[in-house]
Structure 1
Amino acid sequence: MPDDVKVLVDNDRVRVLDVTHKPGVKEPMHSHPAYVSVNLSDTKVKVTTPEGKTTEKVRKAGEVSFSEATTHAIETVGTDGSHTIVIELKK
């Protein structure tokens, strides 16, 4: 795990990650099972799929979202960095 990702819980049902990125941080291509994300800060990221398609996403502090299993690369493009709790669903 990178230094800016902390595992808070990891059991047979969920893995909970505390992800804090400074502006400009690029996460390489990686995969998640279905997951819920809770934004603790306003966040702007660029998401790249394995096919090379990119989209920018803007999330507000307090916003909660669900995503199906995915593979992507993430770049923090906002000026304030990001802080997100990611709850990966194993079952």
Structure 2
Amino acid sequence: MTRFQLLAICLTATLATNAFAQDMAATAGDKARVVLDNARVRVIELNMPPGSSTGVHSHGDNLVVFLTGGSAVQTMADGTTKTIERKPGEVSWSDPVTHDTKNTGKSATRTLVIELKDAAP
């Protein structure tokens, strides 16, 4: 297999993954609730029971406010995983990402995901 063919296969797989990634409010089902949606931001309240996951979804630029602490594993579009340990009140920033998040802790977690939209005029 030539380098060009390998590159073409990798690019196709990446584009296919991104094309099928969905909005978290849709993939997380009743665990996600949009609490604010306007021209500048969308705020999603996410309540995750132990062992539950969001399903594969995409975000633009966003920040997450951890209302409760907990443990999670994120699986990225390329298959890599990242373990997360958060305390109540922590805030994190994320550049655009496609991933799945699973609550690996023993208790439910509650977060606010604040997705930024286009800049103000």
Taking structure 2 as the reference length, the TM-score comes to 0.73
Q: Which protein is richer in helix relative to its size?
A: 2
- 1:24: Cα distance to partner? 0.3
Distance across 2 between alignment mates of 1:6 and 1:28: 15
Q: Which protein is richer in strand relative to its size?
A: 1
Aligned to 2:70: 43
Aligned to 2:99: 72
Distance across 2 between alignment mates of 1:36 and 1:29: 18
Instruction: Indicate whether 1:28 and 2:55 are aligned.
Output: yes
What's the CA shift string for 1:43-76, capped at 9, x where partnerless? 1100001111011100100001111111101110
- Structure 1: gaps spanning 5 or more residues: none
Distance across 1 between alignment mates of 2:83 and 2:50: 14
Secondary structure in structure 2 of the residue aligned to 1:66: strand
Taking structure 1 as the reference length, the TM-score comes to 0.95
Aligned to 2:45: 18
Distance across 2 between alignment mates of 1:32 and 1:82: 19
- 1:28: Cα distance to partner? 1.4
* Count of residue pairs the alignment pairs up: 91
- Structure 2: gaps spanning 5 or more residues: 1-25
| Higher Cα Rg, which structure | 2
Secondary structure in structure 2 of the residue aligned to 1:26: coil
Q: Which has the higher contact order (CA 8 A, sep 6+)?
A: 1
Q: 2:115 aligns with which of 80, 88, 91?
A: 88
What's the Cα RMSD here?
0.8
Secondary structure in structure 2 of the residue aligned to 1:46: strand
Matched AA of 2:64? S
Q: How much identity, in percent, do the aligned residues show? A: 37
